[in-house]
Amino acid sequence: MSELQRVLQARNWMKTNENFLQTWHAHVGYKMDLFDSFKKSAEVKSVAETRQLSPDLLQRWVDVGVVVGHLKETKKNQYKSKRRLVKYASKNSSESVGILLSEMMELHIPTLLEYPEILVSDERITYMSDKFAQIVAETSTLLEKAAVNPILKWVKKEKPSSIIDLGSGLGGYLKSINNKFPRIELTGVELSEEVVKNAKEKHGDQINIIQGDIVEFLNKFEGKTDMLMAHNLLYYFKPEDRVGLFKKFNNALSSKGSVTIISPLVKAKYGAAFTTAFNTFMTAHANLYPLPSPEELEKDADAAGFSVKEMKPLIREGGWYLVTLKKVN
């Protein structure tokens, strides 16, 4: 009986790996623009010659694609990408989500695979923000699609005359706010020079984006703003430093000031599988830190002179929440 159970467990894990094969196949297809190469029916040999790729390795990728349902054989030795893969996993598609695959396969999964060695040595990895800044900025734009309407509703309700986006990335939130409320004074602060350059190329002079560290910016900031956005930031700060960060937010705000925070939350109602894995990834790094729970976030906000107005789930599967804070006078 125990031997049968052992076989069943092995088969179980083999079965669950089929989902990984889909992710791996889509990642390679996105990275190499292969779904576009097979947008129309084509032979592997022809695509390999045109793209200067190994024909036998490309054939193996195609074979997996047929089995997992990403490609179909149209004629003898000819293959075509399924429409949804051209739509969602091609770099040329405006609806592509392929950059998320890059973040998973090039950043998250390699770290998790190193976990046995890290467990033994307790030598944490140093997260290379420069190397992955552009990937993270682009994946953040996917989150923006879920978050932008709630942010715009908050802006409409609070009526700020000025907003500063801390860690503004490619400036997507600021662009959306500018389109809807063109009279609001908008400023972005972004650490990565490459991301700032790309943001300025994308938006021109419409939005003021400053290159720099957000803590240094807040320390030097002598004015007052009505609203701060702190999206995808908390895991860059040690839990014991977050009250101090929130106090810096408070000092930068006018008397009616508010803060929007977007972050995955542990021990929240939604997204436990993702947030626990995300926490594992964070803890494996020397310069990334655990996610807050709703209770910890509320406690830190209260200690810094804020009241939590709302914790709204944005992407339930990922445990992503929009948290709105108001300054207590």
pLDDT single digits (tens) 234-276 = 999 999 999 999 999 999 999 999 999 999 999 999 999 999 9
Per-residue model confidence (pLDDT) at position 142: 75
Q: Sorting pLDDT into bands at 50, 70 and 90, what band is 311?
A: very high
Using pLDDT thresholds of 50, 70 and 90, give the confidence band for residue 306.
very high
* Domain tally, the chain: 2
Across 308-319, average pLDDT: 93
Residue 304: alpha-carbon gap to chain centroid: 27
Of the candidate ranges 1-5, 20-24, 261-265, 280-284, the one whose mean pLDDT is the lowest: 1-5
Closest CA to 196 of 130, 288, 151: 130
pLDDT (0 to 100) of residue 112: 93
Confidence of residue 51 (pLDDT cuts 50, 70, 90): very high
Q: Is the same domain home to 179 and 243? A: yes
Whether residues 7 and 74 fall in one domain: yes
Per-residue pLDDT at 1: 64
Question: Distance between CA atoms of 326 and 264, rounded to whole angstroms?
Answer: 20
Summarize the confidence of residues 39-48 as an average pLDDT.
96
Residue 115 lies in a domain: no
In a domain, residue 43? The reply is yes
Q: Please name the residues in contact with 313: beta carbons below 8 A apart, sequence gap of 6 or more.
A: 268, 269, 270, 271, 319, 320, 321, 322
Whether residue 67 is found in the same domain as residue 146 = no
Report DSSP letters for 104-170, one per residue: IIIIIHHHHHTHHHHHHH--PBPP-HHHHHHHHHHHHHHHHHHHHHHHHHHHHHH--SEEEEET-TT
My answer on whether 48 and 141 are in the same domain is no
Both 290 and 198 in one domain: the answer is yes
Cα 92–chain centre separation: 20
Is the pLDDT confidence value at 24 over 90?
yes
Residues 86 and 124 grouped into a single domain: no
The chain-wide mean pLDDT, for the chain, equals 92
User: What pLDDT shows up at residue 94?
Assistant: 86
Same domain for 262 and 151, yes or no, is yes
| Same domain? 73 vs 204 | no
- Together in a domain, 82 and 209: no
Q: What is the mean pLDDT of residues 225-231?
A: 97
Let me know whether 172 and 284 are in one domain: yes
Give yes or no: residues 63 and 142 share one domain. no
Q: How confident is the model at residue 329 (pLDDT cuts 50, 70, 90)?
A: confident
Q: Is residue 237 in a domain?
A: yes
Would you state the pLDDT for residue 122?
93
Which pLDDT band, with edges at 50, 70 and 90, does 56 fall under? very high
Dihedral angle computed from the Cα positions of residues 293, 283, 231 and 149, in that order, rounded to the nearest 10 degrees: -70
Q: Return the CATH number at 29.
A: 1.10.10.10
Instruction: Domain of residue 51: give its range.
Output: 2-90
Q: Do 77 and 21 share a domain, yes or no?
A: yes
pLDDT over 90, % of the chain: 74
pLDDT, tens only, 165-202: 999 988 999 999 999 999 999 999 999 898 899 888 88
Q: If you average pLDDT over residues 305-313, what whole number do you get?
A: 96
Predicted confidence (pLDDT) per residue in 65-95, tens digit: 999 999 999 988 999 999 999 999 999 998 8
Output the DSSP codes for 42-93: EEHHHHHHHHT--HHHHHHHHHHHHHHTSEEEEETTEEEE-HHHHHHS-TT-
Indicate whether 14 pLDDT > 90: no
> DSSP assignment, residue 259?
E
